[in-house]
Amino acid sequence: MPRQYTHDLQTWVDSNPKVKTWYDKKALGSKNTASVYGSSLFRYWRDALSSRFGTVDKWIDSVKGQQKSDEVEGQRQWGSDLQGYIHSTNLMEGSRFVLVQAVKSFLKQYLNLADYSITLVTKDQHLAVKKHQQEQNPLSLEEIRTLVNDASTRDRAIILTQVSAGLGVGEQEP
């Protein structure tokens, strides 16, 4: 079943005045950032928050109430909830980071938010990624030939430079 995600996102943004205000402010700086942050916030809302709070205003009021708590754990409940959500998803570390930044950005628009350091990946997940990266085999000579033959002149120069000079991935900026 194809997603109507972009349409759903725009409908959600337009139907929530606080989200729309935040989204429009983000778009003044960068439309792309607004779109990515809005999409991340929408996903969190749709998957984790909408069934608990019903409206964005109720969620903001709940976090506002948490901020008034005398207990540090109460003040940081919003972060604990977010961390629980990101660890229940199969999002990659970069996507998790964007999601956390989007939620923080939105909440800071309306609240004096208590600081919370969110762990994006567990130690086991981090070690599994590192192990997978170390287990990757280098390209064979035939694979390099295929890449070079199919590449544009610019990309061919980059590939041959990396192969001959031993540059690592990310060391050659386009």
Q: Residue 57 — pLDDT band, cuts 50, 70, 90?
A: very high
Which range of 35-44, 79-88, 110-119 scores highest in mean pLDDT? It is: 35-44
Mean pLDDT, rounded, for 31-39: 93
Q: What is the mean pLDDT of the chain?
A: 84
Q: What percent of the chain has pLDDT over 90?
A: 48
Which tops the pLDDT comparison, 29 or 93?
29
- CA atoms lying within 13 Å on the CB side of residue 20: 8
pLDDT of residue 62 exceeding 80: yes
Which tops the pLDDT comparison, 70 or 102?
102
Give the whole-angstrom CA distance, residue 47 versus residue 65: 22
Mean pLDDT, rounded, for 58-77: 88
Is the entire prediction scored with pTM above 0.75? no
pLDDT of residue 3 exceeding 70: no
pLDDT of residue 149: 93
Q: What is the pLDDT of residues 128-162, one digit of tens each?
A: 767 777 777 777 888 888 999 999 999 999 888 88
Kindly state the tokens that stand for 23: 């989204």
